[in-house]
Structure 1
């Protein structure tokens, strides 16, 4: 697995979206430098162009740092970067004023005025869009964009005619508003992805909790009445034994019978909880995976297999489905059951494996123990670029297969 590709595949879906969002904001800083910093050298004298380009590059770096810290704040990983926001605002205002000063008092020429005007508008636009990341509500975001536009108008009116200043206000307002909207939407999308991922994990935990409650309820229903009867009959036997009554022996025989019956019923409950029907597990796995947005294809026939074989293979399907949901970023999963004269083979294959994982996990170890009870074997591991395969094989005699 290549280094760069492996680094990307190791990330979960929310982490991928976050990485994309972060580098999008960093790319905005690169666009600012490339779009207005580099063209200055063809329109101004070298020393003025170099000075202004250096200032623009510094402003772009401050925007990138502010965007990164503001994104951490929106994700709840740090406090609001208030000082960084004020620093960005001050630097943006300084660069804008510098551009106006160069346009009015620097070298003459239309190219110089155009370049300085571009610097003036673009730094205010990127400054407003980045600053909007550091505020929470829409009203404050609108206030930020409006404030940058009004500031642009005040600075422009000091050195430009009225129509040109109004155009500057409009350009800054529209451009800053667009970047602010883009920033807010990107943050909203990132938060939504994290919330959906958390909801999926919560749903899995609730399913486990519901199964535990069901098992506890079944066990209580079986044992509650029988234990109460055993306690009463044991107390009665004690009283009869103290009086020398022969009925005490009959009561203890009855207690023994109820205890043996309770033991049998508990085994039935545990067996029903631990055994898994292969057909039911295949249907359930397909439904759960497709509900999670993973395309699942099930092929083969599971009917007619011995109960113990179905139970062992059903647990393989259950564990493999859990691994697909919890690990990696699968988009496709294929489950295939093949029955021959010698054996039955179950194969589960999925893509989106984050990193190579060996067969030493506790879940796979438990499956090997279950399969060993029916003389079965288990193979699990990566088989290609981001593909993981689990193959369970159980020997089978045709006389065991029900017609």
Structure 2
């Protein structure tokens, strides 16, 4: 009882593939040893014992059968590994197994000669069992057609051996078809079982690859979100810290207000990082438009927003919200802009976001060629079949255009017009209005 509970726990602790692997290998080994036990029992039946056959011949035949089983145990295990591609095929053990098979068959035929084939009908079953341990391994090492050819040749050889013992043609033909049927059945059974095990192994490997890819994709998503969330926040913190230093050097009390704002933005950034880690944060288009306008104005950049896109699907709003955030981050970080225009136009087929600013520098051109922020933004737009174009244009302007088709998006989200959307955490009205005057004092 205790042993059974231990075996049940071990079985239940195995994975699905491990269970199938154990079952398949156990089937192969069981098939080989059942045939060995069958040979041993048939070698000591009453007709054999009373046939006058030497005891040494009977014992030698039994020992040869046991040796065949002992050789088949490692051979089956190695053959399975070779079939699964885990090790190169080895031919010394198969050659030894073939020699033991023929020796065992010769012993059985000798016993049949003493008893007389007609008075030893179990000889056909014993000869059919002789080839099973060898075929169980051979089918895993050679192509299927070669295995069936081996079955035919072995059947013919054993039928010829029975004919040499003086058996009639009906018995010889019965031996040929009996050995051929048993060997063919063993070939089909073993091959199908091994094929199933190989498919399960590939499936497990595919699941492992899928798991690793999911982890890698999640890492990329996390890095992209961290860049998108913290990029603008850090740019604003750097700007306001620089402004606070200059105001403090001039003895302006407004430096305290700027540092308080920096402290507040840092706390907001901490919360946003927590939201990104949980995977819950989504960008809201209208909030991002108001936030970008407030932040750019606070940095002394004239920012004008035209249109709000109207009611849009949630996925489109999120993708364009990230586009607004990335565009505002690039405007703050690169070049020396004085003016920025954000246009949002929606039609029946698509919605287009255009962010255009002046003050283009060589650094800005480099960013347009392959910045990680734009790469992450392209991934977000690809999710909604959108496209992104970014780069310098005529008259020293830099233009970012994000276009998202509406046909492939889900139904529009029930968002009300909301005449005064709530500002982004990064834009406080009082700071946005007072910052230009502070910058003028610089």
Normalising by structure 1, we get a TM-score of: 0.55
Match of 2:20 in 1: 17
| Residues 202, 248 of structure 1: alpha-carbon distance in 2 compared, 3 angstrom cutoff | farther
Return closer, same or farther for 1:247/1:193 CA change in 2, 3 Å cut-off.
Answer: farther
CA contact (8 A) 2:132 2:186 kept: yes
The correspondence for 1:110, drawn from 103, 110, 118, is 118
Residue equivalent to 1:86: 95
Instruction: Confirm whether residue 188 of structure 1 aligns to residue 195 of structure 2.
Output: yes
Per the alignment, in what secondary structure is the counterpart of residue 79 of structure 1? coil
Q: Give, in whole Å, the separation in 1 of the partners of 2:252 and 2:182.
A: 94
Q: In terms of mean alpha carbon deviation, does 90-99 or 152-161 score higher?
A: 152-161
Is 1:43–2:19 an aligned residue pair?
Answer: no
**Larger Rg: 1 or 2?**
2
How big is the alpha-carbon RMSD for the aligned residues of Structure 1 and Structure 2?
3.9
Superposed CA deviations along residues 93-140 of structure 1, whole A, max 9, x for unmatched, are: 222233334333x2447334x3444332321244323321333x3334
Counterparts in 2 of 1:108 and 1:217: CA distance versus 1, 3 Å: closer
* Partners of 1:73 and 1:79 within 8 A in 2: yes
CA contact (8 A) 1:124 1:176 kept: yes
Gaps of 5+ in 1: 278-403
Query: Is the 1:88–1:131 contact (alpha carbons within 8 Å) kept by the matching residues of 2?
Result: no
**Alignment partner of 1:99 is 2:102:** no
Equivalent-residue separation in structure 2 for 1:3 and 1:206 (angstroms):
37
Q: Of the candidates 121, 130, 134, which is equivalent to residue 127 of structure 1? A: 134
- Matches of 1:189 and 1:227, distance apart in 2: 56
Aligned mates of 1:142, 1:263 — CA distance in 2? 75
Aligned position for 2:409 = none
Partner Cα separation in structure 1 for residue 264 and residue 146 of structure 2: 72
Native 8 Å contact 2:31 2:132 kept in 1: no
In structure 2, the partner of 1:301 is: none
Give the SS at the match of 1:119: helix
Kindly indicate whether residue 278 of structure 2 is the aligned counterpart of residue 270 of structure 1. Answer: no
**Matched residues in 2 for 1:217 and 1:276: separation?**
14
Deviations 1:278-305 (A, max 9, x none): xxxxxxxxxxxxxxxxxxxxxxxxxxxx
Establish whether residue 26 from structure 1 lines up as the match of residue 33 from structure 2: no
Q: Which residue of 2 aligns with 1:152?
A: 158
**Against the structure 1 CA distance between its residues 96 and 152, is the aligned structure 2 distance closer, same or farther, given a 3 Å change threshold?**
same
* SS of 1:80 mapped into structure 2: coil
**Alpha-carbon distance, 1:178 to partner:** 0.9
TM-score by length of 2: 0.51
Where 1:43 maps in the other structure, the secondary structure is helix
Quote the Cα distance in structure 2 between the aligned partners of 1:248 and 1:189: 79
Tell me: CA distance 1:142–1:246, structure 2 relative to 1, closer, same or farther (3 Å): farther
2:145 to 139, 159, 164: 139
Gaps of 5+ in 2: 282-442
Q: Once structures 1 and 2 are overlaid, which stretch shifts more, 229-238 or 69-78?
A: 229-238
**Comparing 225-234 with 206-215, which one deviates more in the overlay?**
225-234
